[in-house]
Structure formats: C-alpha cells, structure tokens
C-alpha cells in the first residue's frame, strides 16, 4: 500500500499523539520504586507496569481512530486489521536501562504499509527528544538529521546493546571480527544508540536476537538520515534477528562482508 504525502503527514501527527499518551503513562514510574517482572527466556527480560500501561494507552487510541489498522506490540501481541497498515509498538525499548534509572530508553512507534515501515518515531520523554523518520528524511524536533561520513571501520565508533545477545558461537565470532577492527566500542544504548547513529555520533551498530518491534521504528529514521540498516545477509531488517546499521553506505558494505559468514 503506497501512502501519499498527505497521508504520511496525518499519520505522523497521530504518532505524536501516541507518543504523548505513552509518555503520560510512563512518567510516574521512571526513577520511582516499582515491581519488575522477568518474562523469562535465555536472557533476563524485564517488564514493568510502565511498559504495559504505555502500550495499552497507545493501542486504545489506534483502535478508536483507525479500527481497520493492525497492531503489533511487545507487551500485548498482534491484532490483525482489515487494512495492510500496521502500527508496530515497543512502549519502552530499553527496559533494563529504565529500571536502573538511565535515560537510554525510548518509546518506539512504527507504521508498516504491509511491505515495509514507512514512518518511525523514537520518543524519549525524560530528555524531551523526539526522533522522527519517513525514509526520505529524518528529524530531531525541527532539526534535520544526517549521518556522518566514515568509510573506514578502523576509524569507526561501534555500538551494541550487550554482547550477550549473540546467541551462537558463529554470531559472537562475527561480531568480534567487526569489534576488533573498530576504533571505539561502546555497549548499551538500545534504541538511543540508533538515533545517535542517525544524528552523526555513532558509525555502526551490530546486534542480534532483535524482534520486529525493536527495529521497525528505527529504520525510517536511519534511512531518512542517509544511513543503511539491514539484516546481516543484506536483506530487510524489519523482521528483527541479526541487524547491522551504518551511517555510511561504504562502511555498511565493509561490515556486511565480515558478518555474512555467520548466517
């Protein structure tokens, strides 16, 4: 389903409404005492009342305004719609940072047209930053975002949320091949790291074990700022899994060669 400029503008304004509602639901819980549950799995996977309340608030607004649209959310699953359009939601990407009081988290909101995410937003209400991308442009507030030129991995800043996300020896080894050549490696960041790549402060991100709601909102932001984000095999990143993002397309090609053998 192809969206025109008027439709994109309408949905962008609605994404602002969703982000505001999520922020209101989250605000009372950040840097406050709260119960943390573990979803279980290979890694510690925390969830809080803030995650659940924020997603619930967004889903209610979508179902009221666009009942024909689908919804895919981290906390409350998938609701299929009659339209090809699907809202993809992660109410708090970076819950581990959230529960430790660090502001390296955000609310992720994407609109997928049935083929790819065409609108993405990362809202960090505590710092007052709202990153928006439409694939052909990206903004922080009213400021246009641009990735920086860096074609040499030896001069690059690499980020990854945690090395524990590489769930096979081959994937871990592939990441280490990239990390061993980078000038600087920093862990942490979750969605915030991707927005720093779009802002020109990070050059490459290599991650694995991602879900669609972890990455779809970030794709239009990075692409709109001039970067590239794909799966490790060069295909679409929208399904999650193993993902690589680079600010410079030449760097992306270089990093991809180091990662392909792990697929």
Binding residues: 74, 90, 92-93, 214
| Cα-based distances in Å from 128 to 66, 70, 123, 208 | 27, 28, 8, 28
Strands (E), the chain: 36-38, 46-48, 70-73, 77-79, 86-93, 106-112, 117-124, 129-133, 138-140, 143-144, 157-160, 184-187, 204-210, 228-231, 241-246
Integer Rg of the chain from CA? 17
Binding residues for Mg(2+): 74, 90, 92-93, 214
22, two tokens: 């999520």
Please name which of 113, 86, 103 lies closest in space to residue 213, comparing C-alpha atoms: 86
């Amino acid at each position: 389903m192809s969206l025109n400029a008027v439709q994109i503008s309408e949905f962008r304004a609605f994404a602002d409404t969703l982000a505001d509602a999520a922020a209101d639901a989250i605000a009372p819980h950040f840097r406050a005492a709260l119960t943390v549950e573990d979803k279980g799995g290979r890694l510690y996977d925390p969830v809080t009342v803030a995650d659940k309340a924020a997603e619930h608030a967004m889903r209610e607004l979508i179902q009221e305004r666009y009942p024909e649209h689908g919804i895919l959310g981290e906390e409350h699953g998938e609701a299929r719609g009659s339209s090809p359009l699907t809202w993809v939601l992660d109410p708090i990407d970076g819950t581990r940072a959230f529960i430790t009081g660090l502001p390296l988290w955000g609310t992720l909101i994407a609109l997928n047209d049935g083929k790819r995410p065409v609108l993405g937003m990362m809202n960090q209400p505590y710092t007052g930053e709202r990153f928006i991308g439409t694939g052909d442009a990206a903004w922080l507030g009213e400021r246009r975002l641009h990735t920086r030129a860096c074609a040499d991995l030896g001069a690059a800043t690499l980020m990854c949320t945690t090395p524990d996300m590489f769930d096979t020896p081959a994937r871990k080894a592939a990441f280490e091949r990239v990390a061993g050549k980078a000038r600087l490696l920093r862990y942490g960041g979750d969605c915030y790291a991707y927005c720093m790549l779009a802002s020109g402060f990070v050059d490459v991100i290599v991650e694995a074990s991602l879900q669609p709601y972890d990455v779809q909102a970030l794709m239009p932001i990075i692409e709109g700022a001039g970067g590239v984000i794909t799966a490790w095999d060069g295909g679409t990143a929208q399904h999650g899994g193993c993902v690589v993002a680079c600010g410079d397309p030449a760097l992306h090609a270089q990093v991809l060669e180091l990662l392909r053998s792990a697929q």
